[in-house]
């Protein structure tokens, strides 16, 4: 039985005051939930503050997720943050291959795979994002695209590496658009991903959590999370409002 996981990707949002308010709201609102695992993903700059606020509230049920990392452990890489640094701050998860990193910051499958391996080398759990563009969906190549993205990591890290990883299916056309994939569209790709992994390792296919991301909100979380192969959500905009995010977490509990 896979435990559901809901991760808030705050992207480049939040002041110190907003981080405090949001974490306190989420910590209080989610205190009674026992089945769902919850993580919040502030900017690098706010991770230390977020960890302090969680500790101050005694909210050890809230995990921390980073949004990115360097593939290198240290060195002359101006502006970068490494996996050992994140681990020292108590970060549990790190998003790799988010479509905004792939598109805006030109991260290739090879870069994503290197970051995935760097995360695991420091004991962080990578949340590997895959997803197709609208044009690719319309061309009928959604499954092919996500499998290519997944295979790039399997080739570099080996199938066993998926044992301590999370996958996230985030169709680009559903991110920040308010246009969620239907539960059938999402389930279909999640099934394809799981069946692909099962060809190499059935135990990992059964245990790996595959999150859906793309305009998840309180109003659609329950139907998405009730699909057989959807194990929670990677939530953008709706994770910036404590009440809405808690409501999404409740749908997964």
Active-site residue, from 107, 132, 170, 244? 170
Interface with ligand 13P: number of residues (CB under 6 A): 14
DSSP assigned state of 41? E
Torsion-angle region of 14 (φ positive above 0: left; ψ -120 to 50: alpha; else: beta): left
Residue list 67-106, contact with ligand 13P (CB under 6 A)? 98
User: Interface with ligand 13P includes 216 (CB under 6 A)?
Assistant: yes
Q: Could you tell me which residues come within 8 angstroms of residue 9 by beta carbon, excluding any fewer than 6 positions away?
A: 41, 65, 67, 95, 98, 213, 234, 235, 236, 239
Q: Could you tell me which residues come within 8 angstroms of residue 40 by beta carbon, excluding any fewer than 6 positions away?
A: 7, 8, 10, 22, 23, 26, 50, 62, 63, 64, 65, 239
Catalytic: 98? yes
User: Interface with ligand 13P includes 235 (CB under 6 A)?
Assistant: yes
Q: Which one of residues 68, 149, 215, 220 is an interface residue with ligand 13P (CB under 6 A)? A: 215
User: Interface with ligand 13P includes 181 (CB under 6 A)?
Assistant: no
- Residue 27 C-beta: closest distance to ligand 13P, Å: 21
User: What does the alpha-carbon distance between residue 235 and residue 139 come to, in Å, rounded to a whole number?
Assistant: 26
Q: Which one of residues 187, 236, 244, 249 is an interface residue with ligand 13P (CB under 6 A)? A: 236
Backbone angles phi, psi at 127, to 5 degrees: -105, 100
Give the position of tokens 């360097």. 70
Active-site residue, from 37, 98, 132, 244? 98
User: Interface with ligand 13P includes 171 (CB under 6 A)?
Assistant: no
Catalytic: 46? no
- Active site residues per annotation: 98, 170
Q: Which residues bind ligand 13P (CB under 6 A)?
A: 9, 98, 170, 175-176, 213-216, 234-238
């Amino acid at each position: 039985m896979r435990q559901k996981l809901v991760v808030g990707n705050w992207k480049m949002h939040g002041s110190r005051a907003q981080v405090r308010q949001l974490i306190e709201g989420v910590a209080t609102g989610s205190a009674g939930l026992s089945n769902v695992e919850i993580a919040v993903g502030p900017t690098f700059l706010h991770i230390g503050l977020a960890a302090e606020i969680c500790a101050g509230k005694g909210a050890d049920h809230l995990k921390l997720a980073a949004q990115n990392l360097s593939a290198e452990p240290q060195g002359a890489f101006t502006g970068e943050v490494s996996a050992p640094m994140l681990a020292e701050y108590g970060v549990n998860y790190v998003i790799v291959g988010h479509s905004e990193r792939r598109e805006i910051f030109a991260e290739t499958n090879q870069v994503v795979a290197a970051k995935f391996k760097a995360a695991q080398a420091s004991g962080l759990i990578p949340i590997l994002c895959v997803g197709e563009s609208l044009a690719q969906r319309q061309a009928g190549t959604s499954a092919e695209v996500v499998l290519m993205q997944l295979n790039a990591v399997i080739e570099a890290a080996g199938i066993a590496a998926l044992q301590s990883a999370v996958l996230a299916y985030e169709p680009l056309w559903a991110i920040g658009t308010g246009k969620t994939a239907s539960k059938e569209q999402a389930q279909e790709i999640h099934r394809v991903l799981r069946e692909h992994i099962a060809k190499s390792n059935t135990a990992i296919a059964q245990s790996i959590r595959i999150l859906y991301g793309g305009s998840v909100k309180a109003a659609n979380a329950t139907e998405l999370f009730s699909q057989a192969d959807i194990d929670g959500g990677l939530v953008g905009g709706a994770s910036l409002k404590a009440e809405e995010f808690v409501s999404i977490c409740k749908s997964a509990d």
